[in-house]
Structure 1
Amino acid sequence: MPDSAALSPRQRTRLDAYTQTGYNFDPDQLTDYTAATGWRVDDYETELPTEAPGPPAARGSWAAACEVLRRYSFPPPGLISGIFLPDQPLSQRVMVLRAQFLGFSFWFGVRIGGVTDETRPLPEGGQEQVWGYNYRTLEGHFERGQIEFIVHKNLTTGRVWCHIHAVSQTGRIRNPFYWLGFKLFGRRLQVRFSQQSLKRLGQQVEQMLREGWQAPPASDSPTVKPISAHDDAQAQLDKNR
């Protein structure tokens, strides 16, 4: 991943401008976004290797899953490639995601809306340790909404799992070609992304527990590089300035 300090001042300015691009929905109204008000609400979950009861182990299943989420190495590379600012803290990360599906390519701008790192009470009693983040759609995105990735550990039982929670609605798509493509394939793209991402996350966690914590091979991960390195991503950036 190239060091963004090597970018030209013009490129740096463009990246900074994209960081200021607004959301295409109101995050303060998330609790009002339900199926009854015309939004899709999706939940997906996968079990991960259990740990001993108590706080997460330093190199255990929970910590490994957090690392996979942090690296953004879990999306299926044939479906999603992520381009983001390598020197930004996770809580400020902005990404351009290229989704590829049945010959169509869609460019999406997103920003991390919040990082979760806390101990919570469980409804059945006891506590859980949770870590993760959400990202939210920016102006120019074909969708409106937020997707959240959270890793949980039940501190009493040692159960570890990852949960995806997404709230979305089709946004405004001016280009009729992309409108048709997204209408035909967008929903299937959403479902495949979540299902395959959780499957890959589980595989990477198991590999890390077996083999150590080396970064996943570049060929097995989404493309991660500055936005300015890709012409189409730069065009998306300029469009949203």
Structure 2
Amino acid sequence: MTSLGDWIFGRLDAVRVWRRLADAGVNYSVDEVRRPSWNIDVHRTAIGKERPGPPESGGPWEQACRLVRAYEFSPPEIVRALYDPAAPLLGRDMLLEARFHGMLFYCGVRVTKVVDETRDETDRVWGWAYETLQGHLERGQVTYEVVKRQDSGEVLFVVSCHSQGAPTLDRITLLGWRVFGRRTQLRFYRRCAERLRRFVEAALRGEHPLPSPPSAAGHLVCAPSDTRMHRLDALAIHRVAPGCSPSSSTGRAPK
């Protein structure tokens, strides 16, 4: 029997859909990535300042890394995620709920890279990247990194991405993606940086702007933790794996 907690994403049995991600593969090859058919983006935003040198204990860099690891920077009005916090970060499957003009799209991603290094002897970098799985609206990879420039003390949030709409989208979804998708994508990047900067500043003041613990569905958590299910979510059009062929995509929760 499905418990109320399992219906954290509107009327969708999200836990069951999340479990299916284990059998899904990445839906593109990096050899395909080239302009102009792919969007290739890099967005850098200053989110704090420390003294020059290695990251400070409890400082902006450490606070940002904690929030980025937990996917707390994602704006819940655009993208929410369901994942197992006990699973290692590398290889973690995440079910994303993309909220798009009265429609809710459910797509899978997998963390395929964790970054923990010093670049050019000056930049201390931590972050991770996920790639899109079969059935996703898009194809590509997004990398989220927290960078401290140790020569100046500046702390940055850097989002780099290569992406394109999935070629198997149905006609209506593809039209909507062409009209609104790119605009929503750029707004997502901007809102991610705004939220991360605001939460880091709050943490440094000793405030706790995010609820604890986050919403849960079984052993999974929903991120960001200020995500709330609204009554209207049950009335929205639900599309599971919209990037699959029409015969394998459905607007209903799976049985």
Q: CA deviation at 1:90?
A: 1.0
Contact persistence 1:116–1:131 (CA under 8 A):
yes
Q: What is the Cα deviation at residue 159 of structure 1?
A: 1.2
SS at match of 2:153: coil
Q: RMSD between aligned alpha carbons?
A: 3.3
After the TM superposition, which of the residue ranges 92-101 and 201-210 deviates more from structure 2? 92-101
Equivalent residue number for residue 155 of structure 2: 160
Deviation at 1:216, TM superposition (A): 1.6
CA contact (8 A) 1:97 1:107 kept: yes
User: Could you tell me the TM-score, scaled by structure 2's length?
Assistant: 0.75
Matches within 5 A, 1:41-60: 41-60=40-59
Pick closer, same or farther for the CA change 1:86–1:96 going to 2, 3 Å. Answer: same
Query: Which residue number corresponds to residue 188 of structure 1?
Result: 183
Q: How does 1:1-241 map to 2 (within 5 A)?
A: 15=18, 17-27=20-30, 29=31, 33-36=33-36, 38-121=37-120, 126-211=121-206, 214=208, 216-217=210-211, 221=225, 223=227, 236=241
After the TM superposition, which segments of 4 or more aligned residues of structure 1 sit over 3 Å from their partners? 11-17, 218-224, 232-237
What does the per-residue CA deviation read over 1:125-173, in whole Å, with 9 as the maximum and x for residues that have no partner? x511100011110001111100111111111221111111010111123
1:79-133 Cα deviation digits (max 9, x unpaired)? 1111112321111211111111222322221111100001111xxxx51110001
Gaps of 5+ in 1: 5-10, 225-229
1:74–1:221 CA contact under 8 A, matched in 2:
no
> 1:22-69 CA distances to partner (integer Å, 9 max, x unpaired)?
011014x3xx62324x21101111102211111101200000110110
TM-score (norm 1): 0.79
Gaps of at least 5 residues in structure 2 are: 7-13, 216-223, 229-233, 243-247, 250-255
Q: Counterparts of 2:90 and 2:239 in 1: how far apart (Å)?
A: 22
The number of aligned residues is 220
